[in-house]
Structure 1
């Protein structure tokens, strides 16, 4: 069955909901399958890379289709391999990027950035995370854009593509290196990776800085009942 978020035509009118709990449930239920799908896709990539770690530790070369796929992932995650060869050092670095994100973090940011799916950018552009683009005509021009600014708010063909772009942004953009390091540290210590903790690494996601981080953390705590449903 295709994801609801793959088709813009199936997008609910979230502004029509009068009951707050129903609105929240509808919003999370709409985007959650896309988040699960993206996490599953990334987890498969991660397991492939962990398999290469095991192979190298056993003295086996990485070549053929495995090497080709590793090089493809290197491009996707913006961390090129050196000399077309996979090394333990590169694998260690790329695994910091190729990792999943907690549902509660992704969905809370989507709710925050899109006004629970009611913002102009969500309704007209399927943009739930406030992603920008910088080529003239690439998106929607913000009404409150400062004089001299040239950014636009990106437009996506489907809501799912917005989710996919968000994952890519958080997993590769230098602005969120701290988030990735927090996640890697939790993995290394055998801890559960949580949205509350990872939100600390979003201080550069908004000009509001720490106030934004605290708001996302508060949303995660306040909507805890919906994460249990996922």
Structure 2
């Protein structure tokens, strides 16, 4: 009986170690309450299929199409994060005045759960963690990681799983089994119902997963100094995203420098299109 108990205890402990690193088990997403003074969060349709980027033979054209496809999703997600962040600041101010209402407490509890903040911390630390975790991820960083991890939207995992960022899951059937998965490993490359979900899951991963704590601290320091959040600087905190470490970071920084003019041109075209409509 004692042996069975020990085995059960170990199994449960391992389960709790694995679950936080998956993308298929997570708290319900808190509803966004828009805050005055910020642009409204744009309504973006569901992107449930990828264009066939492999058909585009001109490299610059392929890049432009890839960026144009993803930019609206990234912009919408970052605005959603900015509204949520502004709401946290409002709640923090009311908490300091002992003026929290039930709606504030409910939203705060959801955010603590979703962004994996220890609820046993004191109020000051809770708000410190929330502000560090609820913030934008620079567009160029998202774009070049998506391009790098998905081979510009042409990889098997991108086409079949709408997974542009190489995110893993650990439950049988949760995704696609990699062809080169080492024997004894159980991870799969996660499948998503939409590219929207893939982008949101990636940003939550960057904003909560322990290996990217340095990135979040660097972002927070720049916020405190009122400095621009630059992708080429923040990718320094992505050393744990790939086994290639510094080589991976240098590759992303090179991609940012090379592709920034293309992204800028795409953004101008998108802005002109929206103005015309």
TM normalised by structure 2 equals 0.78
| SS of equivalent residue, structure 2 residue 252 | helix
CA distance, structure 2, for counterparts of residue 227 and residue 93 of structure 1: 32
CA distance, structure 2, for counterparts of residue 187 and residue 29 of structure 1: 28
| SS of equivalent residue, structure 2 residue 116 | coil
The question of whether the paired residues in 2 share the 8 Å contact of 1:132 and 1:154 is answered with: yes
Shift of 1:2: 5.8
**Large movers: runs of 4+ above 4 Å:** none
- What is the aligned-residue RMSD (CA, Å)? 1.6
The question of whether the paired residues in 1 share the 8 Å contact of 2:67 and 2:263 is answered with: no
**CA offsets, 1:59-79, max 9 Å, x none?**
233231011101111111011
Paired position in structure 1 for 2:47? 7
Select which of 105, 108, 112 maps to 2:148: 112
Select which of 1, 26, 35 maps to 2:65: 26
User: Which is higher, the Rg of structure 1 or of structure 2?
Assistant: 2
CA distance, structure 2, for counterparts of residue 217 and residue 64 of structure 1: 45
Paired position in structure 2 for 1:50? 89
Shift of 1:52: 2.0
1:20-169 map, 5 Å: 20-57=59-96, 59-82=97-120, 87-169=123-205
1:207-222 map, 5 Å: 207-222=243-258
Unpaired stretches in structure 1, ≥5 consecutive residues = none
Paired position in structure 2 for 1:182? 218
| SS of equivalent residue, structure 1 residue 8 | coil
| SS of equivalent residue, structure 1 residue 7 | coil
CA distance, structure 1, for counterparts of residue 243 and residue 229 of structure 2: 25
CA distance, structure 2, for counterparts of residue 61 and residue 81 of structure 1: 19
**CA offsets, 1:76-122, max 9 Å, x none?**
10114338xx8222111211000001100000000000000000000
Select which of 214, 224, 230 maps to 2:260: 224
How many residue pairs match? The answer is: 225
The question of whether the paired residues in 1 share the 8 Å contact of 2:44 and 2:72 is answered with: yes
TM normalised by structure 1 equals 0.93
For the structure 1 residues 47 and 2, does the alpha-carbon distance in structure 2 shift closer, same or farther, using more than 3 Å as the test? closer
Unpaired stretches in structure 2, ≥5 consecutive residues = 1-41, 268-277
